[in-house]
C-alpha cells in the first residue's frame, strides 16, 4: 500500500488547511447555533430558539426572500448571458477561445471591492449611463433606480459573476464530441433539434454548476448590497454580519447562516429537478 | 423494392469529385458508379482521402468540384440531415444521455413516427443485430462490439438508400472484428442496402466487398472485385497493399509474343506481357507469396520460372509457414505455404541452410512500370 501512503502524505497539507480554516470553524458555528445569548454572555446548551427566532420578526423572512430573489435573478441572467458566449466560443469562434479565457482571468486581477466602487460610479446620477441617456435625449432627469436599489445589486453582481459562469458551461460544451453532433445531423436532426436534444442536455451539468456558483455567491453577498444596495437592498448577508459585529449574537448569526445553507441546498436541488423534468418531458 | 431490379442499375454516381484542404489535396477527380445493393469498400492507407470522400457523401464536407447523383438527382445541395443516407461512425457516436432504445429510435422520433410503429421497428433492429433485451441499457454499460451493433441498428432503422460506414470495426478486438465482418456482410445481403465501407484493412475489404476501390493520395488506383484485384493488381502499390508480394526490380531483356524475359540480378524471369514495355526498360515484378511453389521430391510439375536457392529463414504462422529463400546475391524470394501435414511426419523438414528449388508460372508474375 505504499502508493496510497504517498498520496495521503501529499494531501495532508491541504486537508490540514481545510480542517483548521473550514471544517473546524463551520463545525463551531454549527454548535453555536444551538447555544443561547444572554446578558451575561454565551450559554452552551441545546435549543432551537435561534432557528425559531428567524420567524419571530417579519424582517428576517422578508430579507431572506429578497436575498433569494436577487440571487436567483442574478444567477439566471448570468447563465442566460454565459451560454451563448460559451456556445459560440466552442462551435463558431474557436480561435477566440484563448483570448476570452485570458480576459476572464484578467478580470480577477482587479480587486472585487474596487470594481463594486466602479459600478457605484457608473450607475450614479452623474454616472456614465445617465450621462449617455441624457445626451441622446431619452431622459431628462437621471434614472434613480440604477443605484442604491436591488437593481444595482443585480447589475453589479451579474457583471462580476458572468465571466466565471462562462467557464463551467464552456467546459461542458467542449466535452461534447463533434461525432455526436454529426450523428444527430446524419439521423435527420436540423440545427435546432440537434441543439435541443443533444447539445443542451449534454451541457446541462455545466449550466447547473454555473448556476450554483452564481446563485450561492450572490444570495449570500454582503459587500455589494452595502455599497450599491441602498435601504431597499438589505440582504441576509448583512444581517448575519451584524450578529457577529455590533449585535454580538453569535448563536443567532450561526442559526441564520445554517438556515440559509440548508435553504440554498434545497432550492438548488429544486432547480436541478426542474431541469431534468424539462429534458424528459418529451419521452419517445 | 418490388419487381426485378435490373442487374446493372446504378444507384449512385460520383463524378470528378475534388476536395482540397488549403494546400493539401484530399480527393482528386474521384469518379465511381455504384450499383444498387452493392458492397463497395474504399480501401487505402491513412490520408488517402477515403474518409473525406465518405464525409462528402454524408454531407459533412462540401466538395470543391464534382457531382454526386442519386437516381440521377444531385444530392449535394441537400444538407446532411436531409440526405437519404446514414452513417456508422468509427467511434460509434452513441448519445451517452439516452438509452439504447432512445438512441435507435432517435431518427424515428425526429420524423414524428407513432409510438407503436417505432417500438416495432426498434425491436426488429435489435433482433437483427442480436441484442434483444438491451433497450433500457445506457451506452456506458455496453462493450465495444455491442456499441457498434447499436450504432448499426440506429443507422439501419431509417432504411437508408445507402449506408456509409467509416472504419466501424477499427476499435474492436481481432476476434470480434472477424465475427462482425461476417455479420455485417450477412446483414447487407439480407437487407440489400448499398454499403459504402471505408477501411485501411485490406483483408477486411477482401472478405466483405463486392468491389474494392483502392485509393492512394486522393486518387483511385484500381476498382475491381476482390478476386481480380488480388490476382491482377495494376500497380506496385496495389500488389503490395493488398496481400503480400515479392517485389523485384529488373530490366526487360527480351520481348516475346506473349511473354517477357526480364533480367533480375543476373537471373532470368518470365512474365506475361501485361505492360507496354520496350527492351531495356526498368520494370517491377510482383509475385504473390503463395504462388511460389517449393519443389520437393513429390513435385512433378515443371514451372516457367525455376530457381535454386538457400533457405535463409523459416517463419511459422500457425496455419501457414513462410520460407525466405535466397536465389542470388541480391534476391530473396518469400514462399508461403499452408501446412497440410506436419513435415516432420513425412521426414521432410526443411531447415535454414538447406538448398531448395522453387518455381512459379509466368501468369503469376505481375509487371509494372512504376
Any chain B CB within 8 A of the CB of A280?
no
Distances (CA, A) of B293 to B23, B34, B288, B349, B354: 48, 38, 10, 16, 16
Pairing, β B39-43 against β B194-199: parallel
Residue B112 lies in a domain: yes
pLDDT tens digits along B49-59: 999 999 999 99
Cβ of A187 within 8 Å of Cβ of B58? The answer is no
Residues of B in contact with A190 (CB under 8 A): 79, 81
Q: Is A9 on the interface with B (CB under 8 A)?
A: no
Contact list in B for residue A187 (CB cut-off 8 A) is 81, 86, 106-107, 110, 154-155, 158
Closest CA to B356 of B303, B282, B306: B306
Tell me which chain A residues have a C-beta less than 8 angstroms from the C-beta of B102. Answer: 284
The pLDDT of residue A30: 93
Do B271 and B214 fall within a single domain? no
CB count in 10 Å sphere of residue B95 = 20
Cell triple for residue A74? 442574478
DSSP assignment string, B264-306:
ETTEEEEEE--S---TT-EEEEEEEGGGSEEE-TT-----SEE
pLDDT of residue B349: 63
The C-alpha atoms of residue B109 and residue B115 are separated, in whole angstroms, by 9
Least confident of A138-147, B94-103, B192-201, B321-330: A138-147
- According to the model, what pLDDT value does residue B8 have? 53
Whether B243 is covered by a domain: the verdict is no
Q: Nearest-CA residue of chain B relative to A189? A: B81
Q: Out of A177, A182, A284, whose CB is closest to B102?
A: A284
CATH of the domain at A165: 1.10.3720.10
Task: State the smallest CA–CA distance between residue A178 and chain B in angstroms.
Answer: 9
* pLDDT the model gives residue B1: 42
Strands B65-70 and B162-166 come out as: unpaired
Span B65-95, pLDDT tens digits: 999 999 888 999 999 999 999 999 999 999 9
Mean pLDDT of A73-101: 93
Per-residue pLDDT, B304: 87
Residue B266: predicted pLDDT: 87
Tell me: pLDDT of A188 over 70.
yes
Q: Cα distance from B102 to chain A (closest Cα, Å)?
A: 7
What is the number of alpha carbons within 13 Å of residue A7 lying toward its C-beta?
A: 4
**pLDDT score at A164:** 86
The answer on B150 and B292 residing in a single domain is no
Q: How far is A78 from chain B (nearest CA, A)?
A: 25
Q: Looking at the 3D structure of chain B, how many domains does it have?
A: 2
By percentage, how much of chain B surpasses pLDDT 70?
Answer: 95
Domain boundary among B237, B270, B304: B237
Q: How many CB pairs under 8 A join A and B?
A: 63
Please choose, from the candidates A48, A74, A33, the residue with its C-alpha nearest in 3D space to the C-alpha of residue A261. A33
Distance, CA of B282 to CA of B233 (rounded, Å)? 18
The reply to whether A198 falls in a domain is yes
Do B256 and B220 share a domain, yes or no? no
Average pLDDT over residues A8-37: 91
Range of the domain at A268: 57-280
pTM beyond cutoff 0.90: no
pLDDT of residue B9: 63
Helix (H, G, I), strand (E, B) or coil at B227: helix
Q: Are the C-beta atoms of B270 and B260 separated by less than 8 Å?
A: yes
- Residue B3 falls within a domain, yes or no? no
DSSP string, B95-135: -TTS-HHHHHHHHHHHTT--HHHHHHHHHHHHHHTT-TT-T
B161 with B259, same domain?
A: no
Q: Is the pLDDT assigned to residue B242 strictly greater than 80?
A: yes
For residues B73 and B142, state if they share a domain: yes
Is residue B184 within 8 Å of residue B216, measured between CB atoms?
no
Residues B162 and B311 in one domain: no
Q: Is residue A145 part of a domain?
A: yes
Cβ-Cβ contacts under 8 Å, B93 against chain A: 177, 179-180, 182-183
Of B81, B93, B158, the CB nearest to A179: B93
Asked, for residue A122, whether it belongs to a domain, the answer is yes
Q: Is the pLDDT of residue B345 over 60?
A: no
Do B315 and B189 lie in a common domain?
no
Examine the domain organization and report whether B224 and B263 are in the same domain. no
Q: Residue B137: which CATH number?
A: 3.40.50.300
Same domain, B139 and B228: yes
Say what the pLDDT of residue B353 is. Answer: 85
Give the residue-averaged pLDDT of A210-238.
92
The residue-averaged pLDDT of B269-279 equals 85
C-alpha cell at B161: 438508400
B93 to A198: CB separation less than 8 angstroms, yes or no: no
Q: Does residue A9 lie within any of the structural domains?
A: no
Contact of B181 with chain A, judged by CB distance below 8 Å, is answered with: no
Whether B209 and B255 share a structural domain: no
User: Does B4 have pLDDT greater than 60?
Assistant: no
At B227, the pLDDT band (50, 70, 90 cuts) reads very high
Chain B CB contacts of A201 under 8 Å are 97
Surface of A (192-251) touching B: CB under 8 A: 193, 197-198, 201-202
With respect to residue B343, please indicate whether it lies within any of the assigned structural domains. Answer: yes
Residue B343: its pLDDT value, please? 58
Q: Are residues B204 and B289 in the same domain?
A: no
Measure A179 CA to nearest chain B CA, in Å.
6
| Residues B195 and B317 occupy one common structural domain | no
Is any Cβ of chain B less than 8 angstroms from the Cβ of A181? Answer: no
DSSP H/E element including B245: strand B245-255
Task: Evaluate whether A263 touches A220 at the Cβ level (below 8 Å).
Answer: no
Choosing from B179, B212, B237, the residue where a domain stops is B237
Range of the domain at B287: 249-368
Q: What is the 3-state secondary structure (H, E, C) of chain A?
A: CHHHHHHHHHHHHHHHHHHHHHHHHHHHHHHHCCCEEECCEEECCCCCHHHHHCCCCCHHHHHHHHHHHHHHHHHHHHHHHHHHHHHHHHHCCHHHHHHHHHHHHHCCCCCHHHHHHHHHHHHCCCCHHHHHHHHCCCCCCCCCCCCCCHHHHHHHHHHHHHHHHHHHHHHHHHCCCHHHHHHHHHCCCCHHHHHHHHHHHHHHHHHHHHHHHHHHHHHHCCHHHHHHHCCCCCCHHHHHHHHCCCCCCHHHHHHHHHHHHHHHHHHHHHHHHHHHHHHHCCCC
A275 reaches B (C-beta below 8 A): no
Domain-embedded: residue B4: no
Q: Please state the domain count of chain A.
A: 1
ipTM of the complex: 0.83
Determine the Cα angle at B96 with ends B92 and B99, to 5°.
100
Q: State the CATH number of the domain containing residue B350.
A: 2.40.50.100
Compute the nearest-CA separation of B77 from chain A (Å). 15
* Average pLDDT along chain B: 89
Residue A273 lies in a domain: yes
A179 — contact with chain B (CB < 8 Å)?
yes
Mean pLDDT of A135-151: 84
Q: Is the pLDDT of residue A281 over 90?
A: no
pLDDT recorded at residue B3:
42
> Of B209, B237, B265, which residue constitutes the final position of a domain?
B237
pLDDT digit string, tens, across residues B17-26:
999 998 889 9
Q: Which residues of B touch A183 (CB under 8 A)?
A: 87, 89, 93, 95
Residue for grid cell 436575498: A67
Amino acid at each position: 500500500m505504499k502508493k496510497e501512503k504517498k498520496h495521503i502524505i501529499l494531501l495532508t497539507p491541504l486537508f490540514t488547511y481545510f480542517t483548521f480554516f473550514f471544517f473546524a470553524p463551520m463545525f463551531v458555528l454549527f454548535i453555536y447555533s444551538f447555544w443561547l445569548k444572554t446578558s451575561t454572555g454565551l450559554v452552551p446548551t441545546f435549543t432551537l430558539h435561534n432557528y425559531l427566532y428567524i420567524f419571530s420578526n417579519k424582517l428576517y423572512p422578508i430579507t431572506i426572500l429578497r436575498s433569494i430573489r436577487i440571487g436567483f435573478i442574478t444567477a439566471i441572467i448570468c447563465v442566460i448571458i454565459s451560454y451563448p458566449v460559451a456556445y459560440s466560443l466552442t462551435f463558431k469562434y474557436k480561435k477566440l477561445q484563448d483570448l476570452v479565457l485570458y480576459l476572464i482571468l484578467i478580470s480577477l486581477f482587479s480587486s472585487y471591492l474596487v470594481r463594486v466602487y466602479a459600478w457605484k460610479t457608473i450607475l450614479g446620477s452623474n454616472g456614465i449611463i445617465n450621462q449617455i441617456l441624457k445626451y441622446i435625449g431619452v431622459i431628462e432627469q437621471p434614472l434613480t433606480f440604477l443605484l442604491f436599489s436591488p437593481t444595482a445589486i443585480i447589475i453589479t453582481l451579474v457583471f462580476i459573476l458572468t465571466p466565471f459562469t462562462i467557464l463551467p458551461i464552456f467546459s461542458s460544451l467542449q466535452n461534447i464530441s463533434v461525432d455526436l453532433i454529426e450523428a444527430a445531423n446524419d439521423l435527420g436532426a436540423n440545427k435546432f433539434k440537434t441543439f435541443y436534444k443533444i447539445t443542451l442536455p449534454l451541457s446541462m451539468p455545466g449550466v447547473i454548476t454555473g448556476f450554483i456558483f452564481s446563485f450561492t455567491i450572490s444570495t449570500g453577498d454582503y459587500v455589494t448590497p452595502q455599497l450599491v444596495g441602498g435601504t431597499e437592498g438589505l440582504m441576509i448577508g448583512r444581517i448575519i454580519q451584524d450578529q457577529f459585529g455590533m449585535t454580538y449574537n453569535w448563536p443567532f448569526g450561526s442559526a441564520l447562516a445554517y438556515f440559509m445553507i440548508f435553504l440554498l441546498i434545497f432550492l438548488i436541488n429544486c432547480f436541478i429537478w426542474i431541469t431534468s423534468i424539462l429534458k424528459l418531458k418529451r419521452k419517445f | 423494392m418490388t419487381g426485378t431490379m435490373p442487374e446493372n442499375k446504378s444507384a449512385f454516381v460520383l463524378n470528378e469529385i475534388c476536395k482540397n484542404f488549403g494546400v493539401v489535396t484530399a480527393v482528386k477527380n474521384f469518379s465511381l458508379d455504384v450499383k444498387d445493393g452493392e458492397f463497395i469498400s474504399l480501401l487505402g492507407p491513412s490520408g488517402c482521402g477515403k474518409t473525406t470522400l465518405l464525409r462528402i457523401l454524408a454531407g459533412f464536407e462540401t466538395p470543391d468540384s464534382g457531382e454526386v447523383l442519386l437516381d440521377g438527382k444531385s444530392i449535394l445541395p441537400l444538407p446532411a440531415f436531409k440526405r437519404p443516407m446514414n452513417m456508422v461512425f468509427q467511434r460509434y457516436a452513441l448519445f451517452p444521455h439516452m438509452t439504447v432504445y432512445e438512441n435507435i429510435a432517435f431518427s424515428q422520433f425526429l420524423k414524428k413516427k407513432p409510438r407503436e410503429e417505432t417500438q416495432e421497428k426498434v425491436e426488429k433492429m435489435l433482433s437483427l443485430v442480436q441484442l434483444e433485451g438491451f433497450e433500457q441499457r445506457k451506452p456506458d454499460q455496453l462493450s465495444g462490439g455491442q456499441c457498434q451493433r447499436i450504432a448499426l441498428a440506429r443507422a439501419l432503422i431509417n432504411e437508408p438508400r445507402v449506408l456509409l460506414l467509416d472504419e466501424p470495426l477499427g476499435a474492436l478486438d481481432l476476434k470480434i472484428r472477424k465475427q462482425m465482418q461476417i455479420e455485417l456482410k450477412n446483414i447487407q445481403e439480407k437487407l440489400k442496402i448499398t454499403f459504402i465501407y471505408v477501411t485501411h484493412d485490406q483483408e477486411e475489404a477482401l472478405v466483405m466487398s463486392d468491389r474494392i476501390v483502392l485509393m492512394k493520395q486522393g486518387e483511385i488506383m484500381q476498382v475491381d472485385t476482390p478476386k481480380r484485384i488480388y490476382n491482377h493488381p495494376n500497380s506496385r502499390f496495389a500488389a503490395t497493399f493488398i496481400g503480400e508480394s515479392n517485389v523485384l526490380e529488373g530490366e526487360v531483356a527480351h520481348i516475346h509474343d506473349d511473354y517477357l524475359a526480364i533480367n533480375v540480378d543476373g537471373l532470368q524471369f518470365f512474365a506475361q506481357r501485361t505492360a507496354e514495355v520496350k527492351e531495356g526498360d526498368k520494370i517491377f515484378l510482383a509475385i504473390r507469396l503463395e504462388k511460389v511453389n517449393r519443389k520437393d521430391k513429390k513435385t512433378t510439375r515443371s514451372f516457367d520460372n525455376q530457381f535454386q536457392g538457400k533457405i535463409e529463414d523459416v517463419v511459422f504462422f500457425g496455419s501457414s509457414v513462410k520460407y525466405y529463400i535466397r536465389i542470388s546475391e541480391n534476391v530473396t524470394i518469400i514462399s508461403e505455404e499452408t501446412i497440410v501435414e506436419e513435415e516432420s511426419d513425412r521426414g521432410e523438414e526443411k531447415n535454414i541452410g538447406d538448398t531448395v528449388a522453387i518455381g512459379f508460372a509466368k501468369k503469376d508474375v505481375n509487371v509494372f512500370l512504376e
